[in-house]
């Protein structure tokens, strides 16, 4: 699937965001190896800590459905849903990606308009900790 299409699905997912506290709406679209796509949005909480990011919502939905082989994720976000620049995945989401994705997993970070950046998991999470490398 073209990155542009996955970014469009991430923008759609962003409209589902529940972000009454920060006002930052975030959307993600996760492409599975079998071609299916899972959307995710951020879901905030009055206690702040339980907030779930858009990327993790998408990944957890997919894992619940039995998917574990992922190709790429597109992420967009911005204040009140206005995308004015890049909204890169937080550190916790990067670590969750590490659990299921290989080094060449692609992250498309959408910007204003049709702008986007394509980075691999190895690029955004170098020297990472993962079960396969450290617990054998
Ligand atoms: N957020 C995401 O959804 N994904 C990220 O990777 C970074 C942060 C959300 C969490 C919170 O609801 C809002 O953005 C502001 O931090």
DSSP string, 58-99: HHHHHHHTT---EEEEEEEEEETT---S--PPPHHHHHHHHH
| pTM score over 0.85 | yes
The mean per-residue pLDDT over the stretch 10-25 comes to 98
Exposed e or buried b per residue across 79-99, where buried means at least 16 C-beta atoms within 10 angstroms of its C-beta = eebebeebbebeeebbebbbe
pLDDT at 133: 66
Annotated active-site positions, please?
55
Q: To test the ligand 1 pocket, which listed residue (26, 96, 110) has its Cβ within 8 A of the most ligand atoms?
A: 26
Separation of alpha carbons 134 and 132, rounded Å? 6
Residue 41 CA: nearest ligand 1 atom is: 3
The mean per-residue pLDDT over the stretch 78-102 comes to 97
| The pLDDT of residue 28 is above 60 | yes
Where do the domains of the chain lie, and which CATH numbers do they carry? 3-134 (3.40.140.10)
């Amino acid at each position: 699937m073209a990155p542009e299409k996955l970014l469009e699905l991430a923008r759609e997912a962003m409209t589902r965001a529940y972000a009454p506290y920060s006002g930052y709406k975030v959307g993600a679209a996760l492409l599975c190896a079998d071609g299916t796509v899972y959307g995710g949005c951020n879901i905030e909480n009055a206690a702040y800590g339980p907030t779930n990011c858009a990327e993790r919502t998408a990944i957890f939905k997919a894992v619940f459905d039995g998917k574990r082989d992922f190709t790429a994720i597109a992420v967009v976000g911005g204040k009140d849903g206005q995308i004015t620049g890049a909204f890169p995945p937080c550190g916790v989401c990067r670590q969750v990606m590490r659990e299921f994705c290989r080094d060449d997993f692609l992250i498309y970070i959408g910007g204003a308009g049709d702008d986007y950046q394509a980075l691999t998991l190895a690029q955004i999470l170098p020297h990472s900790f993962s079960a396969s490398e450290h617990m054998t």
